[in-house]
Amino acid sequence: MSIATEDTANWLTAREALAQMARGALSSADLVAACLERIRRRDPVVRAWTYLVPAAAMAKAKAADAAGTGPLRGLPIGIKDIIYTHDMPTSFNSPHFRGHFPNIDAASVAILRDAGAVMMGKNDTVEFAVNGRRAATMNPHDRTRTPGGSSSGSAAAVADGQVPISLGTQTGGSVIRPASYCGTYAIKPTWNLVSHEGFKVCAASFDTLGWYARSAEDLDLIAEVFGIEAQPCPGSLDGARIAICKTLVWHMAEPATVAAMDQARAALEAAGAIVTDLQLPPEFDGLTEAHRVIMQAEMRSAFLADYRRLGDALYPQLVSIMRNAAGDSREDLRAAQNLSARCRCVFDDIAAPFDAVLTPSTSGEAPVGPEDTGAATFNRIWTLLHMPCVNVPGLTGPSQLPVGVTLTGPRYSDRRLISMAALLGPILSAARPKAAKQSSKGTALQ
Amino acid sequence: MSIATEDTANWLTAREALAQMARGALSSADLVAACLERIRRRDPVVRAWTYLVPAAAMAKAKAADAAGTGPLRGLPIGIKDIIYTHDMPTSFNSPHFRGHFPNIDAASVAILRDAGAVMMGKNDTVEFAVNGRRAATMNPHDRTRTPGGSSSGSAAAVADGQVPISLGTQTGGSVIRPASYCGTYAIKPTWNLVSHEGFKVCAASFDTLGWYARSAEDLDLIAEVFGIEAQPCPGSLDGARIAICKTLVWHMAEPATVAAMDQARAALEAAGAIVTDLQLPPEFDGLTEAHRVIMQAEMRSAFLADYRRLGDALYPQLVSIMRNAAGDSREDLRAAQNLSARCRCVFDDIAAPFDAVLTPSTSGEAPVGPEDTGAATFNRIWTLLHMPCVNVPGLTGPSQLPVGVTLTGPRYSDRRLISMAALLGPILSAARPKAAKQSSKGTALQ
């Protein structure tokens, strides 16, 4: 191993690691070795991986060192185990797909490989990224707590220093919720701005590929690789226009989230931001139910092949959706779609005057797991509306566990939101009450 | 071979073939043998298949005869060569994907297999189902003409008696246009009512799986297998409420289509239908451009992995889309999406009073091919709007070539439209001017 020690390499951001590699201070083999060593030590507790062959990961790293090219040359990335990788199985954490091995890469994986990244292994997920079997993963900050679902392993692996970047997916709150609970940066981009070809479909008009990172700048690095256009953004929070949107489910916020939103507001104001309260129009109140109606209708087509093959062997909640136990009609579906379409336009317009809209990421700290993976209460309307969401970590709750906040905005404002997250993140970490400060390195279990 | 002769088995509808198989008058092996023989004789001219191994197809048929189950037991089906089949390659008619062989079934293919169908082979397509390389397929009715694109082989195979059912896909007009030119029934269902998992993505919010058949009843059989709900429908055209929608691109209609719409109207009125002219509101005029803007934006994410790998080796039109040569902005995209969303609600409402809306399928008869595969002029707004479309054959143009008409209606009225097509089809065939009558069996080349 060259200059970087195991410990420093583990906590490097992707940009730092790439910079060290560019100047020859670190090799991909060094970095992957540090990741593998960290995983070896921590996996008995964190359990973030469903598939990882150390020798194969190391071989890819050495190949990158020898002949790799591209902006992510040699950077190890974890992949949620519903996303296809031609060289690793994809089993959806489903007992019905054990050993399932599609021999193609998802579009997102192909793009990352082309950019030189090392596909490290597969991260555990809630079954089919929806419900049913939970990931074995536990929260790196507290082994009794959930890391959140469904991108459980992807979030935990980044939060725990096991890999600098990972891919997840979101249909309700499956990228942002685990980021909030695990204390990482993450983005769920505008719907369909990044190809969702090649992962298990749940609800096609909501499913969105997202990614986890240790900094907003790393989110941006991957956004660039995925071809998302750069955008102008204020260079400072001083004078930035920020809306605070508590949403119509604010009554579900626990004290940890109420405090987090207050602290974020105070920090923004202290930094000179112009903070405004944003009320959502009353018709937005129907969006939570609209999300359920559309998601379940789309699941009935997405899972039909599985249901025909497996029937009641699928988990009971999925079976009841397949049978339309809720009795939703075509009219209900059309009404839900029409409401969503209207609210997309409305939100684009009401969010347009702001540089970002601040809203909760979760109702509070991570619940005790693994059965309870938390709820998508504060995420699903943004997923339904196709709006980009960035989780900004830094704050903690009464149990000293991470509580994220979300920056959202109009469709296609993704990279502006990432830039705003880069400004907000440091002041949130600084704003955290002293008593609550802990290592950002998830050392609770060390 | 048992009772059915080669010739009769070739022209059976799927329902007729299944009924004969159910009573032991025909075996799947008989039917597949008849299909293979027809293909052997006709393929030098029609060229509908990119991959077909007679022995493998026959083995599947014999397996179905021996131990098959399900509503489609033993029925041979052709699959457009952008749709994944675990036992056959999928090469998108792209020189860059020669021998490409994803080892998984598309959701649609898995459902058909589960229902007992025999996956016969792969049907030729325009490259990536968009543009670029044309299918080798020619129109079964005239070897100088295009069968239409992009589902060229799927439509031609059904029209030519080579297979009773085939799958296609539509992003602009790729299911309905070839059906019109080849004279078959076809449906492009409401968007996302049938899973689009497992075929090459072009524009995710438009891509729709569709299917070809020799009768409306066969379209309905497959709709049932795909889990689309049955719906009440008038039992006769007498008193049925039909709207005629010439659309805002009616000036593009050639004399063949003008005549077809007139003949269809006259036939409907003669059958006692209450026929009303339906004007689309002026804002619908923007939908053709909205389709282009959204499609090209979505192609930029869908094809990014290919573009990164292949760059300018991709065909020039695709490269220019990848480079956003049109210079579309995020604002253009949002405006296109908002217009589309509004018009979806509006069309659902204005179409609601009618049992079906009659509209052109194509601007006229099939053009001379193969370079010109026709245009999606009359299809793309319905694809954009997510509305179901059924092509009804029966009429012909001045060159005695088929000219279809489309029945459309609100989202999720799919099976009502199929039922209306079952009523309309026979009277269109009967209405065809005597001079224009020809065998429906595509014997022009025999």
pLDDT of residue B350: 98
Does residue A183 lie in a domain region? yes
Residues of A in contact with B348 (CB under 8 A): 334, 338
Catalytic, out of B174, B340, B361, B363: B174
Does residue A369 lie in a domain region? yes
Residue A1 has pLDDT above 90, yes or no: no
Question: Based on the domain organization, do A162 and A28 belong to the same domain?
Answer: yes
Higher pLDDT, A7 or A341: A341
Span A257-266, average pLDDT: 98
Does residue B143 lie in a domain region? yes
Question: Based on the domain organization, do A151 and A19 belong to the same domain?
Answer: yes
Q: Do A104 and B107 touch (CB under 8 A)?
A: no
pLDDT of residue B4: 41
pLDDT of residue A446: 37
Instruction: Give the residue ranges of chain B where pLDDT is below 70.
Output: 1-7, 433-446
pLDDT of residue B197: 97
Residues of A in contact with B194 (CB under 8 A): 301
The parent domain of residue B10 ranges over 6-225
Residues of A in contact with B411 (CB under 8 A): 330, 334, 337
CA distance B309 to chain A (A): 7
List pLDDT tens digits, range B293-330: 999 999 999 999 999 999 999 999 999 999 999 999 99
pLDDT of residue B7: 62
pLDDT-based confidence at residue A364 (cuts at 50, 70, 90): very high
Cα separation, A427 vs A269, whole angstroms: 11
DSSP string, B409-435: -STT-HHHHHHHHHHHHHHHHHHS-GG
Q: Which pair of structure tokens corresponds to residue A5?
A: 């020690």
Annotation says A174 is catalytic: yes
Backbone phi and psi for residue A334, each to the nearest 5 degrees, phi listed first: -60, -40
DSSP annotation of A388 reads: -
Does residue A324 lie in a domain region? no
Residues of B in contact with A196 (CB under 8 A): 204
Span A17-35, average pLDDT: 97
pLDDT-based confidence at residue A444 (cuts at 50, 70, 90): very low
CB B410 within 8 A of CB B224: no
Question: Based on the domain organization, do A116 and A83 belong to the same domain?
Answer: yes
pLDDT of residue B195: 98
Q: What percent of chain A has pLDDT over 90?
A: 94
pLDDT of residue B438: 47
Question: Based on the domain organization, do B188 and B248 belong to the same domain?
Answer: no
**Domain C-terminal end among B225, B256, B272:** B225
CA distance B63 to chain A (A): 18
Question: Based on the domain organization, do B64 and B213 belong to the same domain?
Answer: yes
pLDDT of residue A423: 98
**Residues of chain B in Cβ contact (below 8 Å) with chain A:** 101-105, 107-108, 110-111, 114-115, 192-197, 200-201, 204-205, 226-227, 229, 298, 300-302, 304-305, 308-309, 330, 333-334, 337-338, 341-342, 344-345, 348, 410-412
Residue A91 has pLDDT above 80, yes or no: yes
Question: Based on the domain organization, do A218 and A268 belong to the same domain?
Answer: no
Catalytic, out of B27, B28, B60, B80: B80
pLDDT averaged over chain A?
95
| Three-state secondary structure call for residue B211 | strand
Cα separation, B323 vs B327, whole angstroms: 9
Q: Which residue's structure tokens are 């990158």?
A: A64
Question: Based on the domain organization, do A177 and A73 belong to the same domain?
Answer: yes
CB A37 within 8 A of CB A141: no
Does residue B298 lie in a domain region? no
Inter-CA distances, B23 with A206, B15, B27, Å: 46, 12, 10
List pLDDT tens digits, range A171-229: 999 999 999 999 999 999 999 999 999 999 999 999 999 999 999 999 999 999 999 99
DSSP annotation of B231 reads: -
Preferred mutation among B100, B224, B298, B304 to probe A, highest tally of A CBs within 10 A: B304
CATH (domain of B432): 3.90.1300.10
Does residue B310 lie in a domain region? no
Q: What's the total number of domains in chain A?
A: 2
Question: Based on the domain organization, do B216 and B182 belong to the same domain?
Answer: yes
**Domain C-terminal end among B173, B201, B225:** B225
Residue A440 has pLDDT above 60, yes or no: no
List pLDDT tens digits, range B160-190: 999 999 999 999 999 999 999 999 999 999 9
Span A316-330, average pLDDT: 98
Residues of A in contact with B308 (CB under 8 A): 110-111, 114-115
CB A151 within 8 A of CB A125: yes
ipTM of model: 0.96
Q: Which pair of structure tokens corresponds to residue B19?
A: 């009924």
Return the residue of B nearest to A414 by Cα. B330
Q: Do B308 and A114 touch (CB under 8 A)?
A: yes
Annotation says B205 is catalytic: no
pLDDT of residue A77: 98
Preferred mutation among A84, A103, A192 to probe B, highest tally of B CBs within 10 A: A192
Residue A412 has pLDDT above 60, yes or no: yes
Cα separation, B17 vs B23, whole angstroms: 10
Does residue A293 lie in a domain region? no
Question: Based on the domain organization, do B403 and B366 belong to the same domain?
Answer: yes
Cα separation, A52 vs A57, whole angstroms: 8
Q: Which of B105, B196, B304 sits opposite A195 (nearest CB)?
A: B304
Q: Which pair of structure tokens corresponds to residue B226?
A: 């795909």
Backbone phi and psi for residue B108, each to the nearest 5 degrees, phi listed first: -65, -40
CB A181 within 8 A of CB A155: yes
pLDDT of residue B444: 39
Residue B298 makes CB contacts below 8 A (sequence gap 6+) with A192, B202, B203, B204, B205, B206
Question: Based on the domain organization, do A125 and A158 belong to the same domain?
Answer: yes
Question: Based on the domain organization, do B60 and B138 belong to the same domain?
Answer: yes
pLDDT of residue A2: 37
pLDDT of residue B194: 98
Residue A153 has pLDDT above 60, yes or no: yes
Residues of B in contact with A346 (CB under 8 A): none
Does residue A32 lie in a domain region? yes
Q: Do A345 and B330 touch (CB under 8 A)?
A: no
Residue A312 makes CB contacts below 8 A (sequence gap 6+) with A319
**Residues of chain A in Cβ contact (below 8 Å) with chain B:** 101-105, 107-108, 110-111, 114-115, 192-197, 200-201, 204-205, 226-227, 229, 298, 300-302, 304-305, 308-309, 330, 333-334, 337-338, 341-342, 344-345, 348, 410-412
Catalytic, out of A27, A28, A60, A80: A80
DSSP string, A130-182: TSSSPPS--BTTBTTB---SSSHHHHHHHHTTS-SEEEEEESSSTTHHHHHHH
Question: Based on the domain organization, do B349 and B267 belong to the same domain?
Answer: yes
Residue A441 has pLDDT above 80, yes or no: no
pLDDT of residue A431: 83
Annotation says B28 is catalytic: no
